[in-house]
């Protein structure tokens, strides 16, 4: 067995020695220190030496000195991530990397207080998709860490940065169905209690849109993701008076389950009931009939979330949320 020989790290001192300057100067050059005028020649010498030695500053050391890391902690609710959220996280990771920040995700569990995690990790910022107690937010801020909330925030929260206007999703769904002439709508969500807060925001937006458009309030029902559950609900709609003609689905999964339930009863969209989903799952285009849905543009959302963080960390006010730009209506055949 050959022992693995580990080489000593290249440090700023090595670069300094190679460039014939002090560590101080190396740091100034490498960090583009403002208020510091370095002659071009010195700067070049340092950069050249750093390149030659393949120097990478150790982030742990920098963090210890600065008091915080270059990490952004994303706190997630403790349930399986929707596809849409996975995509947002994926994009956000890339956007933050572009800003020199690393994303770390954690599910919010009662067993591990958020504040402890923050103290241990010393992140540059915290973004929470989970409800946070105002006192929790205050404690984190007291430690000097920037905190933002996203996607699902309650109105009385200390935080004012909602990124994806969930209510807008519900409103868009209603507007599209209304434009197709539907005046009796029904909302279908999942029985899963873990998505209820998100459901409530979307439903709220739908209700307000109905009010604006002078439609009756939508009826509401929750289903499981099974053919039987969906078929049972569809059967109920057929008997109800007034009979709904437009179906607002919580997401594409629900929408496709409803389409399957309709099919099992010999019904089809949009003739019997028009159905609109949310998420634009890849498979939705192949649903029978192809699903009309609302796409959450994860690139736009992630970029905005990254902006909130970078501005927030710098103590500046983040740019206004791009509201409708975050959504796209995808019209196919189901509505």
Partner DNA sequence: CTGAAAGCGCTTACAG
Residues contributing to the site for DNA (CB under 7 A):
8-9, 11-13, 20-28, 30-31, 33, 36-39, 42, 55-58, 61-62, 64-67
Question: Which CB atom, from 36 or from 86, has the smaller least distance to DNA?
Answer: 36
Q: What pairs with residue 75 in β-bridges?
A: 106, 128
Q: What span, in angstroms and rounded, lies between the C-alpha atoms of 208 and 173?
A: 12
Q: Which of 3, 6, 37, 110 binds its own copies (CB under 8 A)?
A: 6
Q: Which of 33, 179, 225, 331 binds its own copies (CB under 8 A)?
A: 225
Contacting range for its own copies; rule: CB under 8 A; set: 166-174, 203-211, 282-290, 320-328: 282-290
Distance in Å, CB of 47 to DNA, minimum: 13
Residue 275 binds which of DNA, its own copies, none (CB < 5-8 A, kind-dependent): none
Question: Which CB atom, from 16 or from 276, has the smaller least distance to DNA?
Answer: 16
- Environment class of residue 128 by beta-carbon count within 10 Å: exposed (0-12), middle (13-18) or buried (19+)? buried
94 binds its own copies (CB under 8 A): yes
Distance in Å, CB of 12 to DNA, minimum: 3
Question: Sheet holding 125-128: strands in order across?
Answer: 102-107, 71-76, 125-128, 146-149
- Environment class of residue 144 by beta-carbon count within 10 Å: exposed (0-12), middle (13-18) or buried (19+)? exposed
Distance in Å, CB of 143 to DNA, minimum: 11
Name the helix (H) or strand (E) containing 301: helix 298-313
SS (H, E, C) 51-119: HHCCCCCCHHHHHHHHCCCCEEEEEECCCCCCHHHHHHHHHHHHHHHHCCCEEEEEECCCCCCHHHHHH
Question: Which CB atom, from 96 or from 168, has the smaller least distance to its own copies?
Answer: 96
Binding site for its own copies (CB under 8 A): 4-7, 9-10, 54, 56-61, 63-64, 69, 80-81, 83, 86, 90, 93-94, 97, 102-107, 115-117, 119-122, 141-144, 225, 227, 252-253, 256-257, 259-260, 263, 281-288
């Amino acid at each position: 067995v050959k022992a693995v020989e580990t080489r000593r790290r290249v440090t700023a001192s090595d670069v300094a020695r190679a460039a014939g300057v002090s560590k101080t100067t190396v740091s100034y050059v490498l960090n583009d220190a403002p208020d510091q005028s370095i002659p071009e020649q010195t700067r070049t010498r340092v950069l050249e030496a750093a390149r030659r030695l393949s120097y990478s500053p150790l982030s742990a050391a920098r963090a210890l000195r600065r008091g915080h890391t270059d990490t952004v902690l994303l706190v997630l609710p403790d349930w399986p991530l929707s596809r849409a959220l996975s995509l947002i996280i994926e994009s956000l990771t890339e956007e933050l990397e572009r800003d020199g920040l690393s994303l770390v995700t954690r599910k919010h569990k009662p067993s591990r207080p958020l504040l402890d995690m923050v103290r241990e990790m010393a992140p540059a910022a915290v973004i929470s998709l989970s409800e946070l107690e105002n006192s929790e937010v205050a404690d984190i801020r007291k430690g000097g860490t920037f905190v933002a909330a996203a996607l699902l925030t309650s109105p009385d929260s200390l935080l004012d940065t909602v990124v994806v206007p969930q209510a807008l999703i519900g409103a868009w769904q209603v507007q599209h169905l209304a434009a197709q002439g539907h005046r009796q709508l029904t909302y279908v969500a999942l029985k899963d209690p873990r998505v209820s807060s998100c459901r409530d925001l979307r439903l709220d937006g739908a209700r307000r849109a109905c009010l604006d458009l002078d439609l009756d309030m939508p009826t509401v029902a929750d289903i499981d993701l099974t053919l039987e559950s969906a078929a049972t609900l569809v059967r109920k709609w057929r008997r109800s008076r007034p009979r709904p003609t437009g179906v607002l689905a919580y997401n594409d999964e629900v929408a496709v389950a409803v389409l399957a339930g309709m099919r099992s009863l010999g019904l089809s969209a949009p003739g019997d009931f028009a159905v609109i989903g949310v998420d634009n799952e890849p498979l939705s285009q192949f649903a029978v009939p192809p699903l009309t849905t609302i796409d959450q543009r994860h690139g736009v959302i992630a970029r905005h979330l990254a902006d909130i963080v970078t501005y927030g960390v710098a103590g500046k006010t983040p740019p206004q949320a791009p509201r409708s730009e975050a959504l796209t209506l995808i019209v196919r055949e189901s509505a």
